[in-house]
Chain A
Amino acid sequence: MISVGGRTAADHRRPSVYAVTSVLRLDGVDRSFGDRQVLKEVSFEVVAGRMTGFVGGNGAGKTTTMRIILGVLAADAGEVTWQGAPLSREARRRFGYMPEERGLYPKMSVREQVTYLGRLHGLTAEGARRATDALLERVGLGERGDDLLETLSLGNQQRAQIAAALVHEPEVLVLDEPFSGLDPLAVDTVVAVLRERAAAGAPVLFSSHQLDVVERLCDDLVIIADGTIRAAGSREELRAAYTTPRFELVVETDAGWLRDQPGVSLVDLDGARAVFDLAPGADEQPVLRAALERGPVRAFRPVSPSLAEIFREVTQ
């Protein structure tokens, strides 16, 4: 595992209003199904007030990890702690969970089942009713609250599912693929609601295989492959760590001369536009000067790797 930004960095970026212990922590979690070990020594943190993206291919162990956090599955070894204490059922009751495979009661009205789930999570009858009304309004289901779930469109059922995960104002949110199957409008609604929760101080862990969505949303990132954590840290830290110093240069004529420039290895050359990596320790300014000596420079900028590129690199 490559750990970027250990505890010190984590402490540094944590908003000061939250206690130092407002962290959901996994520590050396193992899990096997029969002979197949699906999680090996999984450790990472989800910090209060931040959206943490959890990415990995199919079968990498995302869902198993989330189920262990929620206590739906037991870990063979290791520990999950919240605010420094091992998770109890009482603590988990204040978590919000959206499982990967969706489903609510088809023959119950949306309002009724969201209220019911609120009550199971410890709300009073009155509290659950109020929270449900407010939340259905918030996710755009105010008008459909009394309809049976099965009469709703798939997109609206997804919104109901989000409401079901949030009704008890959870302290911690764990969402397995919350955006899959959502239309763009619903994605925006859900993103807004999740950001509100994060801003209110909840750690939000969400998995996704849509790397572009994760890239847009997450503050922190955890990458898992074959049951092991390959990288974890803030988005910026990961970018910095996985950037081989790469630059884009656009000149007026052909940029082919870059091939002969010391310390430069060309990644892509398309006439006047070139993308190149610099050897470790090499400086980009001499390259820029060399370019200016040859004529006008239209663009010269560092290129950050996309999440997809980082993902490919760490999971190889």
Chain B
Amino acid sequence: MNTFEATRLVAAREIRVKLRDRTFLISTLIFFLIAAAATFLPPLLAGGPPTVAATEAAAGPLHAAGLQVRTVADDAAAEQAVRDGDVDAAVVAGPAVLAMKEAPGEVVSALSSEPPVRLLDPDAVDPTLAFIVPFAFAFVFFITSQTFGVQIAQSIIEEKQTRIVEILVAAVPVRALLAGKMLAGTLLALGQIGLVALVALAGVASGGDSGLLSLLAPAIGWFIPFFLLGFVLIAAMWAAAGALVNRLEDIGGVSMPVQLAVMLPFFAVIFLNDNAVGMRVLSYLPFSAPTAMPLRLFTGDAAGWEPFVSLALLLVASVGFLLAGARVYEGSLLRTNGRTSLRTAWRG
């Protein structure tokens, strides 16, 4: 049996245990429901096209515009229908549009001839979306790397706390143990966000807005490699933090720097998301690149070569942290007397 096979066995156990863990299943379900609610509900709540009351004579152009037309006998009946709340608007002789409080834009434009419009930047993003999408990316990365990072640390501490680690280390290389845990965490995290992304995309598609979909697709496509490398970066830190302590209760003390490394970039991306210089810097820093770069790609601010450079930087950082994390892990795994200092762990 080689290291690869040992890694596979370790990862398989981690995944099996996790898939039976009630907390994990519930959190996945909640994620799932949030994504479904955020994407399926708005089109449903927005309702259909407005209803209009009109006489037979006036109904023609309204039908043509796809409005729901209710044919009434005369203008008085049309007005009454509006007053009763049976319809959103009415078209009476003139032609004039009747409504209760707000001018019904769709009815008005159905009756008027508009000048042709030529968009010079057709891909420019709706400002609401420009806020929601980056927030969603940052949020997914934040929550996922945090949740699964903590789980990797917990699983390491469990093995230290129960001392089963001594049996494991006697049987398989230490690196296989760490690699198995990282692999399992990454697969579970990817699986979870993959499911959530699928639901979200299905929701968007069901709303019939294919424009938004084609706009989101490249951003999501870039988000995946950034997410993967960013996750490895954070997970390596969690693994090192977990290996330094012996009891689950002690994890708070060592996890502070890791928490900050996740939290600070998250808030930086949220608050600086309309600051071009700030975002450019954030999109190259390894800790914020996983959210900042896909975001700049989404808003169209980044040149074609930029994600590659940022991804390369992130790759170097991730490999570096992974090696450092592995060293700390190996150096502290068998120290079962209290908390190990980083320096001691590093020296092995």
Contact = CB atoms under 8 A, between A and B. Distances in A.
B167 A89 contact: no
B170 A72 contact: yes
Contact of B167 (A107, A117, A119, A122): A117
A105 interface: yes
30 contacts: A67-B334, A70-B166, A72-B166, A72-B169, A72-B170, A72-B334, A73-B334, A92-B170, A93-B1, A93-B171, A93-B172, A95-B170, A98-B167, A99-B163, A99-B167, A102-B163, A103-B161, A104-B162, A105-B158, A105-B162, A107-B17, A116-B9, A117-B167, A117-B171, A120-B6, A120-B10, A120-B172, A122-B1, A164-B167, A165-B167
B13 interface: yes
A73 B161 CA distance: 18
Contact of A97 (B6, B10, B166): B166
Interface in B152-207: 158, 161-164, 166-173
Given A71-B170, A97-B167, A103-B163, 18 more contacts: A67-B334, A72-B166, A72-B169, A72-B334, A92-B171, A93-B1, A93-B172, A95-B170, A99-B166, A101-B163, A102-B163, A104-B164, A117-B167, A120-B6, A120-B9, A120-B168, A121-B171, A165-B167
B336 interface: yes
A70 B169 CA distance: 9
A106 interface: yes
A142 B171 CA distance: 25
A120 B9 CA distance: 7
Contact of A105 (B1, B9, B10, B164): B164
Interface of B: 1, 6, 9-10, 13, 17, 158, 161-164, 166-173, 334, 336
Nearest to B173: A89
Contacts of A101: 163, 166, 336
A200 B164 CA distance: 27
Interface of A: 67, 70-73, 89, 92-93, 95, 97-99, 101-108, 116-117, 119-122, 164-165
Ordered nearest first, which 8 A-B pairs have the shortest CB separation?
A103-B162, A103-B163, A99-B166, A70-B170, A101-B163, A120-B171, A122-B1, A97-B170
Nearest to B13: A116
A257 B95 CA distance: 144
Interface centre among B161, B164, B334 (most CB of A within 10 A): B164
Contacts of A165: 167
A71 to B, nearest CB: 6
Contacts of B158: 105-106
Nearest to A108: B17
A120 B334 CA distance: 19
Contacts of B168: 120
Contacts of A121: 171
Contacts of B6: 120
Contacts of B163: 99, 101-103
B337 to A, nearest CB: 10
B9 A119 contact: yes
Nearest to A67: B166
A74 to B, nearest CB: 10
A122 B336 CA distance: 27
Contacts of A97: 166-167, 170
Nearest to B6: A120
Contacts of B334: 67, 72-73
A107 B14 CA distance: 12
Interface centre among A71, A105, A107 (most CB of B within 10 A): A105
Nearest to A89: B173
Contacts of B13: 116
A97 B9 CA distance: 20
Contacts of B167: 97-99, 117, 164-165
B338 to A, nearest CB: 14
Interface centre among B161, B168, B171 (most CB of A within 10 A): B171
Contacts of A103: 161-164
A122 B17 CA distance: 21
A70 B162 CA distance: 18
A95 B170 CA distance: 9
Contacts of B162: 103-106
Contacts of A67: 166, 334
Nearest to A63: B166
Contacts of B166: 67, 70, 72, 97, 99, 101
A65 to B, nearest CB: 14
Nearest to B20: A107
A103 B348 CA distance: 24
Contacts of A70: 166, 170
Contacts of A102: 163
A116 B9 CA distance: 8
Interface centre among B163, B170, B336 (most CB of A within 10 A): B170
B229 to A, nearest CB: 29
A244 to B, nearest CB: 42
A19 B167 CA distance: 28
